């Protein structure tokens, strides 16, 4: 079965959907049933883009500032390149793993990761929101099958868009091999480079945008006693997102003393190592269709303090501590509870690893292959 897989999102800084496209694509390449043809938005290729393009985000912003209809113009260009290659390669199924597909004469599979644009439209740039509202309803209607990451999203898609449940297929995400428990010695170089001690810092991981609710994590952290903040800094790792300037309101004193550290976008190995060495992952997101960092933290043997929203409880079940995303005191209480209870730490580390073992990219890929087969009636 020859499948066209769109990997254009891999040109952008790697976030959750980019990780999905890459890890799923690699797992699909191992399937003896498939022959993958990769489309990167400009050309067809046999391999995945090796790394995000430098300045990709800045270039996109510059183009959108000059060209009001940048999304539509870019799609028109992509469509021409896609059509040219599709005529030559003749794929039997086309899969778009990041929102709305291009036009294709054969069976189309798309992945819908969340409905952020519906519930939190204010967290989306206006041009992107207009594009989603323009393309997505038609894409959902025309797609042969729709993959979703969780039961939570399947229910939302049916409720909001009226998509028949029979058209949806839940394919839970997996966790990459780089996320696993590590010893202090294994992390010695990385921790020393950041002047950190093993299990003696909190970590926030995610794109710097309002939906991730990082302001609450910062506010809760700042309520901790100074003696705790002095020895337990808060690290924030993530690419710049829309309205990320909100995070510049961090008190100067906290940054000057190294208590709160904005590391920006870090490469995947740095993220995996710092996640494995953290005391806890703070994940107060207001809305998630899956919550991949939660799974990655659990696989790394790192306790998770997360909001009780969206699909997060479905993914973590009893292997995390939960909080209301609007409750600063609740977040602080969970941080203190974990800090003061060695037994709770050990339990969450063990339960998290057990839960994470139930997810894999191989399983996600097999469900996806089955969905291709169903979509194409093979």
Quote the tokens at residue 320. 């995390």
Distance CA(261)–CA(255), nearest Å, equals 6
Q: Which residues contact 42 (CB under 8 A, 6 or more apart)?
A: 8, 78, 81
Q: Which CATH architecture has domain 2-174+360-376?
A: 3-Layer(aba) Sandwich (3.40)
Residues in the chain: 378
The number of angstroms, rounded, from the C-alpha of 282 to the middle of its chain's C-alpha atoms is: 15
Superfamily of domain 188-356: Glycogen Phosphorylase B; (3.40.50.2000)
* Rounded CA separation 41/74 (Å): 9
The per-residue pLDDT for 52 is 64
User: Residue 22: CB partners within 8 Å, gap ≥ 6?
Assistant: 7, 10, 14, 48
pLDDT in tens, 11-70: 887 788 999 999 999 999 999 999 999 999 989 999 998 766 555 545 455 556 666 667
Topology match between the domains 2-174+360-376 and 188-356: yes
Is-contact 166 244, C-beta < 8 A?
A: no
State the Cα–Cα distance between residues 2 and 260, nearest whole angstrom: 49
Instruction: State which H helix or E strand residue 234 sits in.
Output: strand 234-237
257 CB-side CA count, 13 A: 16
Instruction: Reduce the DSSP state of residue 235 to 3 states and report it.
Output: strand
Neighbours of 88 (CB within 10 A): 9
Position 362 scores a pLDDT of 98
Domain ranges in the chain? 2-174+360-376, 188-356
The per-residue pLDDT for 51 is: 65
Cβ count near 268 (within 10 Å): 14
Look-up of token digits 């183009």: 63
- Measured CA to CA, the distance from residue 30 to residue 318 in angstroms comes to 33
3-state helix/strand/coil string of 283-345: ECCCCCCCCHHHHHHHHCCCCEEEECCCCHHHHHCCCCEEECCCCHHHHHHHHHHHHCCHHHH
- 270-300: b (≥16 Cβ within 10 Å) or e: ebbbbbbbbbbbbbbbbbbbbbbbbbbbbbb
CA atoms within 13 A on the CB side of 186: 13
Q: Output the DSSP codes for 58-111.
A: HHHHHHHHH-TTHHHHHHHHHHHHHHHHHHHH--SEEEESSSPPPP-SS-EEEE
- At 338 the pLDDT is 97
Can you give the pLDDT at residue 241?
Answer: 62
Q: How far is CA 192 from CA 186, 189, 195, 219, 274, in A?
A: 11, 5, 5, 27, 11
291: left (phi over 0), alpha (psi -120 to 50) or beta: left
Which pLDDT does position 239 carry in this prediction? 75
Q: Are 213 and 324 in contact (CB under 8 A)?
A: no
pLDDT tens for the 378 residues of the chain, in order: 999 999 999 988 778 899 999 999 999 999 999 999 999 998 999 999 876 655 554 545 555 666 666 777 888 999 999 999 999 999 999 999 988 899 999 999 999 999 989 988 877 778 888 888 888 999 999 999 999 999 999 999 999 999 999 999 999 999 999 999 999 999 999 999 999 999 999 999 987 777 789 999 999 999 999 999 999 999 999 876 655 555 555 666 666 557 999 998 899 999 999 999 999 999 999 999 999 999 999 999 999 999 999 999 999 999 999 999 999 999 999 999 999 999 999 999 999 999 999 999 999 999 999 999 999 888
The dihedrals phi and psi of 312, each to the nearest 5 degrees, come to -60, -50
Q: How much is the pLDDT for 130? A: 86
- The reported pLDDT for the residue numbered 230 is 93
**pTM > 0.85: yes or no:** yes
The first and second tokens of residue 184, run together, are: 């202090």
What distance, in Å, lies between the first and last C-alpha atoms of the chain? 8
Q: Is residue 169 a contact partner of residue 157, using CB atoms and an 8 Å limit? A: no
DSSP structure class, residue 49 = -
């Amino acid at each position: 079965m020859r499948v066209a897989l769109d990997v254009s999102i891999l040109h952008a800084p790697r976030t959750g959907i980019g990780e999905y496209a890459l890890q799923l694509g690699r797992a699909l390449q191992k399937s003896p049933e498939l022959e993958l043809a990769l489309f990167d938005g400009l050309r067809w290729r046999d391999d995945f883009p090796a790394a995000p393009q430098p300045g990709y985000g800045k270039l996109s912003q510059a183009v959108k500032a000059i060209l009001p209809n940048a999304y539509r113009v870019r799609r028109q260009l992509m469509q021409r390149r896609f059509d040219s290659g599709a005529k030559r390669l003749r794929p039997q199924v086309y899969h778009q793993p990041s929102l709305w597909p291009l036009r294709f004469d054969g069976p189309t599979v798309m992945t819908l990761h969340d409905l952020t644009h519906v519930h939190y439209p204010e967290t989306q740039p206006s041009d992107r929101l207009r594009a989603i509202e323009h393309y997505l309803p038609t894409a959902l209607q025309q797609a042969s099958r729709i993959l979703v990451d969780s039961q939570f999203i399947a229910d939302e898609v049916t409720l909001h868009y009226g998509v028949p449940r029979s058209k949806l297929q839940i394919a839970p995400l997996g966790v990459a091999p780089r996320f696993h428990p590590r010893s202090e010695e294994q992390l010695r170089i990385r921790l020393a480079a950041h002047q950190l001690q093993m299990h003696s810092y909190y970590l926030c991981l995610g794109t710097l945008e309002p939906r991730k609710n990082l302001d609450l994590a910062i506010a809760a952290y700042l309520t901790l006693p100074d003696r705790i903040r002095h020895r337990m800094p808060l690290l924030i790792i993530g690419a710049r997102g829309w309205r990320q300037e909100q995070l510049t309101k961090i008190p100067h004193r906290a940054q000057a003393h190294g208590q709160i550290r904005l590391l920006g976008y870090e490469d995947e190995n740095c993220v995996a190592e710092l996640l494995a060495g953290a005391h806890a992952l703070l994940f107060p997101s207001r809305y998630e269709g899956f919550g991949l960092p939660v799974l990655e933290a659990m696989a790394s043997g790192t306790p998770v303090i997360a909001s009780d929203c969206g699909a997060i409880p479905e993914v973590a079940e009893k292997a995390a501590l939960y909080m209301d995303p609007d409750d600063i005191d609740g977040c602080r209480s969970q941080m203190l509870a974990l800090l003061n209870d060695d037994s709770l730490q050990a339990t969450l580390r063990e339960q998290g690893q057990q839960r994470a073992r139930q997810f894999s990219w191989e399983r996600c890929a097999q469900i996806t292959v089955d969905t291709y087969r169903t979509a194409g009636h093979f």
